[in-house]
């Protein structure tokens, strides 16, 4: 039986209590992957990266072993992203390559999961044009993977199981963490903001917060295991706890996580709407909460912000921005910006540029608007040409890049704490790591420093990174 995605259901928000469940491994499946290898290819955001850590552990419980080269693996699973058209195209391009591989090796097992699996149109294509895909599951049912795979191996039928009504909140999934010193910890799933351009509320469902006890237990375990950094994850972390019937919110959680003694706490992503003064105070108060905030603005035009359904104006964003800057010493603020939203005029775009001139962001991810199936914005008339959108992106990037460099230069001569991530693989000698303010820094040192926090004196600044030397 197949379970297909349904946009109508995906849109529903209700007050029903989320059902919390503990994951149980079906031990009768424990050998179905023995002697076989897997490769998981991850697209998109940190949420997907972290889901892949669960997916890998689920596959290893079945006996599969990881293979870094997808062309050699017995099972290839694509964990996909829907956020923009090019994420789609990449995944479909990869499916094309896998089709060829399968023509040579008919036993190749191909799976698809993640946000694209939640899209009606994508599943239509998988059913009719990509029949060689063995199994599909969605963002609400990672835990179905062992069962689906086992069914497919037995019957050889395409197995599709995607729920659009948000699933239960499953605790206790196994996890194979990508590294041993920094970890992702989910705190809230889904999103209820429904920004008009965004597909996430449909692909990730209703806002559901994990219980404080489960989160703190996970962080405490990481502390005991020697982890140096946790990143608290959610599509909108600042909404944490809004779905509880008691008063425990993001500022309380952040404070309790800081008190576990984990050396570094980060969190992302923050919607400006839910960013409270108490949050700002907690970040300022605890030295292990990193002074680095990702605060997507999307546009500097209040008219466009309204059309985007962002629920703030240019002025209220700036007010919040300056409050954060004034309260948290040396804080770095990064952002996301979309250009070419339907109907964006030159004047609207100039408002974005003026906001960027005022905020001088430490980092910014800039995008051309990409219409997403079934979102309200995709139904708006769009009279801005692609050529004009590309020009705007170019003009915007010139300015944001300039300020990255200006901000980086302010650090020259200062000593900063750096979590060492390992040996440079980009052709440079030495090691790299991230400062407390989330800046990439390159320096010479012994690889045994990987996973440690060291003091580095900044010696030079580039647009995208700093250079430094170990400081005794
Ligand atoms: N088109 C372009 N960019 C988008 N983003 C989200 N949806 C779209 C879209 N339809 C951007 C936003 C968001 C970031 C993760 O991706 O800037 O903050
Ligand atoms: Fe992409 Fe959003 Fe899904 Fe992350 S949650 S994978 S950014 S669509």
| Predicted confidence (pLDDT) per residue in 176-229, tens digit | 999 999 999 999 999 999 999 999 999 999 999 999 999 999 999 999 999 999
What whole-number distance in Å separates Cα of residue 203 and Cα of residue 119? 7
* 198 Cα–ligand 1 center, Å: 6
Ligand that comes closest to the CA of residue 84: 1
CA of 3 to the centre of ligand 2 (A): 21
Quick one: average pLDDT of 246-272? 97
Residue nearest to atom 4 of ligand 2 (CA): 45
Which runs of consecutive H residues, i.e. helices, occur in 269-385?
277-285, 302-308, 314-327, 346-359
417 pLDDT exceeds 90? yes
pLDDT band of residue 429 (cuts 50, 70, 90) is confident
211 Cα: distance to centroid of ligand 1 (angstroms): 28
Cα dihedral 341, 347, 353, 357 in deg (nearest 10)? -150
Residue partners of 255: CB distance under 8 A and separation at least 6: 282, 286
Neighbour order of strands in the sheet with 264-268: 182-186, 229-233, 264-268
Distance 203 CA to ligand 2 centre (A): 8
Q: Cβ distance 276 to 241 under 8 Å?
A: no
Q: Look up residue 298 and give its DSSP letter.
A: B
Q: Left, alpha or beta for 330 (phi > 0: left; psi -120 to 50: alpha)? A: left
- CA separation for the pair 57, 34 (Å, rounded): 14
User: In testing the pocket of ligand 1, which one of 46, 47, 83, 268 has its CB within 8 Å of the most ligand atoms?
Assistant: 83
| Ligand 2 pocket residue status of 200, Cβ below 6 Å | yes
236-260: average pLDDT: 96
pLDDT band with cut points at 50, 70 and 90 for residue 425: confident
pTM of the model: 0.96
Pairing of strands 109-114, 75-80: parallel
Evaluate whether 153 touches 127 at the Cβ level (below 8 Å): no
Asked whether 370 lines ligand 1 (CB < 6 A), one says: yes
In the structure, what pLDDT confidence band is assigned to residue 140 with cuts at 50, 70 and 90?
very high
Is residue 472 pLDDT above 80, yes or no?
no
Is the separation of the CB atoms in 115 and 203 below 8 Å? yes
Task: Report the share of the chain in percent with pLDDT over 70.
Answer: 99
Cα separations in angstroms, 394 against 62, 294, 389, 391, 400: 48, 22, 9, 5, 10
* Phi and psi based region of residue 335 (left: phi greater than 0; alpha: psi -120 to 50; beta: remaining): beta
d(CA 218, CA 175): 11
Q: What percent of the chain has pLDDT above 90?
A: 94
Q: What distance in Å separates the CA atoms of residue 364 and residue 339, rounded to the nearest whole number?
A: 13
Which of 436, 445, 449, 437 has its CA nearest to residue 468? 445
Rounded mean pLDDT of 164-178? 90
How far apart are alpha carbons 157 and 262 in whole angstroms? 47
Between CA 125 and CA 455 the distance in angstroms is: 52
Q: What is the pLDDT of residues 263-305, one digit of tens each?
A: 999 999 999 998 999 999 999 999 999 999 999 999 999 999 9
Mean pLDDT of the chain: 96
Q: Which of 76-80, 322-326, 380-384 has the lowest mean pLDDT?
A: 380-384
Which residue intervals of 62-162 are DSSP H helices? 85-104, 120-128, 145-155
Residue (of 26, 1, 3) closest to 150 by Cα position = 26
Instruction: Give Rg (Cα) of the chain.
Output: 23
pLDDT tier for residue 1 given thresholds of 50, 70 and 90: low
Indicate which atom in ligand 2 lies nearest the CA of residue 83: 8
In 172-281, where do the E strands start and end?
A: 182-186, 188-189, 208-209, 229-233, 264-268
Whether the Cβ atoms of residue 328 and residue 291 lie closer than 8 Å to each other: yes
Residue 17 is predicted with a pLDDT of: 81
Structural domains present in the chain = 7-161 (3.40.50.12160), 173-407 (3.80.30.20), 415-470 (2.40.50.140)
198 C-alpha to ligand 2 centroid (Å): 10
Q: Within a 10 A sphere around the Cβ of 5, how many other Cβ atoms? A: 23
State the ligand closest to the CA atom of 376. Answer: 1
Flag whether pLDDT at 256 surpasses 70: yes
Q: If you measure from the C-alpha of residue 76 to the centroid of ligand 1, how many angstroms do you get, rounded to a whole number?
A: 27
User: What ranges make up the beta strands (E) of 369-426?
Assistant: 415-423
Q: What is residue 167's predicted lDDT score, i.e. its pLDDT?
A: 66
User: Chain-centre distance of CA 363, in angstroms?
Assistant: 16
For tokens 């206790």, the residue is 172
DSSP helix/strand/coil, 82: coil
Pocket test for ligand 1, best of 44, 84, 294 (most atoms within 8 A of CB): 84
In this prediction, residue 30 carries a pLDDT of 92
**Dist. CA 357–CA 403, nearest whole Å:** 8
* CB of 296 shorter than 6 A to ligand 1: yes
Nearest CA to ligand 2 atom 1: 81
The distance of Cα 308 from the centroid of its chain, to the nearest Å, equals 21
Query: Which range among 1-5, 49-53, 234-238 shows the weakest confidence by mean pLDDT?
Result: 1-5
């Amino acid at each position: 039986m197949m379970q297909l995605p349904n946009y109508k259901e995906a849109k529903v928000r209700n007050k029903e209590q989320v059902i919390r469940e503990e994951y149980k491994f079906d031990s009768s499946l424990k050998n179905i992957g023995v002697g076989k290898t897997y490769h998981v290819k991850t697209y998109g955001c940190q949420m997907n990266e972290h889901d892949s850590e669960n997916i890998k552990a689920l596959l290893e419980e079945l006996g599969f072993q990881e293979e870094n080269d997808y062309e050699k693996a017995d099972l290839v699973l694509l964990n996909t992203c829907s956020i923009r058209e090019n994420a789609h195209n990449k995944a479909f391009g990869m499916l094309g390559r896998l089709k060829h591989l399968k023509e040579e090796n008919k036993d190749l097992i191909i799976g698809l999961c993640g946000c694209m699996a939640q899209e009606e149109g994508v599943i239509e294509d998988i059913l009719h044009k990509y029949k060689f895909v063995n199994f599909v599951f969605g963002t609400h049912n990672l835990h179905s993977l062992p069962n689906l795979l086992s069914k497919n191996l037995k019957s050889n039928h395409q197995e599709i199981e995607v729920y659009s009504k948000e699933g239960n909140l499953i605790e206790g999934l196994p996890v194979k963490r990508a590294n041993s010193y920094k970890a992702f910890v989910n705190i809230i799933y889904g999103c209820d903001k429904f920004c008009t351009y965004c597909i996430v509320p449909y692909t990730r469902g209703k806002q559901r917060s994990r219980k404080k006890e489960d989160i703190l237990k996970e962080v405490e375990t990481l502390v005991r295991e020697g982890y140096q950094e946790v990143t608290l994850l959610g599509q909108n972390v600042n909404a944490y706890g809004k779905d509880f019937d008691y008063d425990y919110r993001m500022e309380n959680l952040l404070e309790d996580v800081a008190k576990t003694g984990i050396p570094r706490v980060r969190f992302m992503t923050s919607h400006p709407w839910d960013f409270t003064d108490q949050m700002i105070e907690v970040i300022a108060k605890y030295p292990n909460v990193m002074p680095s905030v990702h605060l997507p603005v999307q546009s500097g035009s209040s008219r466009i912000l309204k059309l985007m359904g962002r629920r703030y104006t240019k002025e209220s964003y700036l007010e919040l921005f300056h409050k954060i800057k004034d309260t948290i010493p040396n804080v770095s603020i990064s952002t996301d910006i979309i250009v070419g939203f339907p109907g964006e005029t030159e004047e609207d775009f100039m408002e974005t540029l003026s906001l960027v001139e005022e905020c001088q962001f430490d980092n910014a991810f800039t995008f051309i608007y990409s219409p997403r199936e079934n979102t309200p914005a995709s139904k708006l008339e769009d009279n801005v040409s692609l050529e004009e959108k590309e020009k705007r992106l170019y003009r915007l990037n010139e300015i944001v890049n300039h300020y990255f460099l200006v901000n980086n230069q302010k650090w020259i001569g200062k000593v900063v704490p750096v979590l060492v991530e390992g040996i440079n693989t980009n052709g440079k000698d030495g090691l790299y790591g991230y400062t407390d303010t989330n800046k990439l820094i390159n320096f010479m040192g012994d690889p045994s420093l990987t996973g440690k926090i060291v003091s580095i004196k900044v010696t030079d600044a580039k647009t995208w990174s700093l250079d430094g030397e170990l400081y005794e």
